[in-house]
Amino acid sequence: MNLNQSLYLGERTRLTRIELESDPAALAAWTKDAALLRSLGEEVARPLSVWDVKKRLEKVEKEMDEGDTLYYFHIRPREGNTLLGWGKIYWILWASQIGNLELAIAPSEQGKGYGSDAMGLLLRIAFRELNLHRVAVSLPSYNLPGIALAQKFGFRQEVCRREVYLRDGKHWDDLSFGLLNAEWSANHE
Amino acid sequence: MNNDIFTGRLVRLSAEEPETYAENFSRWWQDSEYGRLLDMAPARLFSPKRTKEWLEKELEKDPPPVRMFGIRTLEGDNLIGFVDLSGMTPHGDAFVGIGVGEREYWGRGYGSEAMSLVLRFAFTELGLHRVSLMVFGYNLRAIRAYKKAGFKHEGRMREMIWRNNERTDALLMGVLGEEWLAQFGGAPEGK
Ligand SMILES: CC(C)(COP(=O)(O)OP(=O)(O)OC[C@H]1O[C@@H](n2cnc3c(N)ncnc32)[C@H](O)[C@@H]1OP(=O)(O)O)[C@@H](O)C(=O)NCCC(=O)NCCS
């Protein structure tokens, strides 16, 4: 068993803890426009203050400290401490060995390969450390880059909930994708 | 305007006191088949105290994030189950959950009528755009009941549930308000 290979170190990114002093300001700055929150799901996009974000991150830390169904990471470049985004494995149900995954990269850092690198790390944790049987992601149908990323990693579309989102005066579907441990493993060693 | 929206031919949607829900939920969960049809989490026996505290906390919020109803028979006024809407989003979606805890009432039309009544509430009073649900692949009775109430198949999450050493899919179903109104004209089947 090769324990030398760090679970948290990719080729371009690192998965790290939350830094409560510096991260809230970075995250709050990403909410100046609606792009990031809209790309993820149903939460109403709005500018968040540093205080808003800090409160949320404190809740996340508390949930991680007190429970065992959330694994949340801040993504940083392999060298350096800038915050690039977050990734989490959440709603873990141990009895069925299933979980959900969410990945978000700052709008200004998108398209540089960070998301793919972090996705690889998150899936390795999900399948090689948490031993999940399957992982799901769900995305609004207008989030084409997110859908492409999920598909690149072998996620298969399983569900289309019709007209779940109402944005810009239009309804959009919610697509949900699943990846089985066996499917992922077929392409990894 | 039709204001008589909570009553069907077999059942009505009722308001119950938190302790009534709590006592009955605890009793229904003693039936492990009921628990394993209803919930993906392992079946377990919660105390009425815990259920009551959880419910009171949810129900005293205004508006309550969980819209919970009892299901009462018109004949005999027996409380036989519950139905609730939760996870309401600002986009007009919510998830529905239903359980007929008194198993002698299974498969006799009570559940699908209660589902129709809660959809009428969702679309003619709450103003939701759609309603979603998840049901386990092995729950054929429920799947049939939901189709009767107007739900359409929206997908299948593979191998979600691990029970009795078998992997089962979870089905997602949904109904749009406009579909439901076109099909049932604002009144559930038969009323
Ligand atoms: C699911 C539930 C709410 C449905 O309510 P219900 O009153 O039993 O359902 P109905 O009688 O209205 O409808 C059931 C339909 O399934 C059919 N049915 C019954 N048993 C069936 C079976 N084993 N396989 C396939 N169909 C079946 C019935 O014939 C009926 O269809 P029909 O009217 O065309 O004949 C109720 O059975 C229940 O609470 N079950 C336990 C908890 C549960 O499963 N909750 C739902 C979790 S998603």
Looking at ligand 1, which atom is closest to the CA of residue B113? 12
Choose the closest CB to A96 out of B93, B158, B162: B162
What is the spatial distance between Cα A165 and Cα A34, in angstroms, rounded to a whole number?
Answer: 14
- Side chain identity, residue B19: E
Which amino acid, residue A81? Answer: N
Tell me the residues of B at the A interface, defined by beta carbons under 8 Å apart: 40-42, 89-93, 129-130, 132, 154-163, 167, 172, 174, 176
Residue B38 located in a structural domain: yes
- Residue ranges per domain, chain A? 13-136
The answer to whether A161 contacts B155, with C-beta atoms less than 8 Å apart, is: yes
**Most A-contacting residue of B40, B157, B163, B179 (CB-CB within 10 A), to test interface:** B157
**Residue B27 CB contacts under 8 Å (≥ 6 apart), including other chains:** B101
Q: Who has greater pLDDT, B100 or A188?
A: B100
pLDDT at B14 over 60: yes
Confirm or reject contact between A163 and chain B (CB < 8 A).
Answer: yes
pTM score of the predicted model: 0.94
CB neighbourhood size of A184 (10 A): 20
Residue whose CA lies nearest to ligand 1 atom number 42: B99
Query: Domain of B122?
Result: 11-184
DSSP A51-86: HHHHHHHHHHHHHHHH-SS-EEEEEEESSS----EE
Q: What is the CATH number of the domain that holds B162?
A: 3.40.630.30
Per the structure, how many domains does chain B have? Answer: 1
Within a domain: B92: yes
Q: What is the pLDDT confidence band of residue B187, given thresholds at 50, 70 and 90? A: low
Q: How many C-alpha atoms does A127 have within 13 Å on its Cβ side? A: 20
**pLDDT average, residue stretch B94-104:** 98
Instruction: Say if CB A128 and CB A185 are below 8 A apart.
Output: no
Beta carbons of B160 and A134 less than 8 Å apart: yes
**A58 is written with which tokens?**
């404190």
Residue B84 lies inside a defined structural domain of this protein: yes
Does some domain include residue B190?
no
Pocket of ligand 1 (CB under 6 A): B 34, 37-38, 81, 98-100, 106-112, 135, 139-142, 144-145, 148
Size of interface A-B (CB pairs under 8 A): 70
Count other Cβ atoms within 10 Å, centred on residue B35. 17
Average pLDDT, chain B: 95
Is the pLDDT at B189 greater than 80? The verdict is no
Give me the interface pTM, i.e. the ipTM: 0.94
Cβ contact A56:A64 at 8 Å: no
CB neighbour burial string for A145-172, b if at least 16 within 10 angstroms, e if fewer: ebbebbeebbbeebbebbbbbbeeeebb
Establish how many alpha carbons lie within 13 A of residue B48's alpha carbon, considering only the half-sphere containing its beta carbon. 11
pLDDT of residue B190 exceeding 80, the answer is no
For the CA of B100, the closest atom of ligand 1 is 39
Q: How far is the centre of ligand 1, averaged over its atoms, from the C-alpha of B32 (Å)?
A: 17
Cβ–Cβ gap A178/B90 under 8 Å: no
CATH 3.40.630.30 fits domain A13-136: yes
B162 within some domain: yes
The predicted-structure confidence for B54-73, as pLDDT tens digits, reads as follows 999 998 998 889 999 999 99
DSSP assignment string, chain B: -----SB-SSEEEE---HHHHHHHHHHHHTSHHHHHHH-SSPP----HHHHHHHHHHHHTSSS-SSEEEEEEETTT--EEEEEEEE---TTSEEEEEEEE-SGGGTTTTHHHHHHHHHHHHIIIII--SEEEEEEETT-HHHHHHHHHTT-EEEEEEEEEEEETTEEEEEEEEEEEHHHHHHHHTTS-TT-
- Give residue B63's pLDDT: 83
pLDDT by 10s per residue, chain A, length 189: 889 999 999 999 999 999 999 999 999 999 999 999 999 999 999 999 999 999 999 999 999 999 999 999 999 999 999 999 999 999 999 999 999 999 999 999 999 999 999 999 999 999 999 999 999 999 999 999 999 999 999 999 999 999 999 999 999 999 999 999 999 999 886
Residue showing tokens 């009462």: B72
Closest CA of chain B from A166, distance in Å: 5
